[in-house]
Structure 1
């Protein structure tokens, strides 16, 4: 199995309307049914970090290696506990192999596995 991969980054405005753009971008990069929903939940969690301090920009990152896919959403402020363990966390935990908070506390990540048939395409 090849462990080579790719990384893509895209910045989005810190506004709820951008969530649709995030889902479209993820869909254009990954052929995984759950990836757009997972990315949406990560984006919304970071977006809702604090109403008074909503991030101006949220950076979305996709990294692949072999069949592993990692989606990350990073904002400009530390995430409060509510955003880390909010309602979207349940969705993310059910659809991914693992997930967590970035080391600096400004972002969330989720790791999933691509279907086996996609490995041959890399």
Structure 2
């Protein structure tokens, strides 16, 4: 039996005040206690790279939640593996850089 899921996408202005909206938007769609903080950290990492807008994507499939923060340009190394990366890796079951290197993703709900 295939797993069903949902996907939500929203572009946020690249402004520090929007980080709160990212957390609220995430908490309103998925019920994992770490998801809002994880979305916040992904957003802040891409925000630090100087993007004008950041596209956030939440995807669910069964018990899994995947959160992606994407900007228009490749991320400098410090933003894709800087101090927030430690927090992201500590909260997520899996995390990485998108294939185009313009964003970061993290996945919850998967055994390691």
Any unmatched runs of 5+ in structure 1?
115-122
Any unmatched runs of 5+ in structure 2?
none
Deviation at 1:47, TM superposition (A): 0.4
2:105 & 2:76 partners in 1: Cα distance?
A: 15
Say which structure is richer in helix. Answer: 1
- Could you say which residue in structure 1 is the equivalent of 2:54? 58
Deviation at 1:2, TM superposition (A): 5.1
- Could you say which residue in structure 1 is the equivalent of 2:82? 86
The 5-angstrom pairing of residues 27-38 of structure 1 reads 27-38=27-38
| TM-score normalised according to structure 1 size | 0.87
- Could you say which residue in structure 2 is the equivalent of 1:103? 99
- Could you say which residue in structure 2 is the equivalent of 1:77? 73
Deviations 1:51-76 (A, max 9, x none): xxx21110000000010100000011
1:85 & 1:106 partners in 2: Cα distance?
A: 13
Q: CA RMSD in A?
A: 1.2
SS in 1 for 2:39: helix
1:11 & 1:61 partners in 2: Cα distance?
A: 9
- Greater Cα radius of gyration, structure 1 or 2: 1
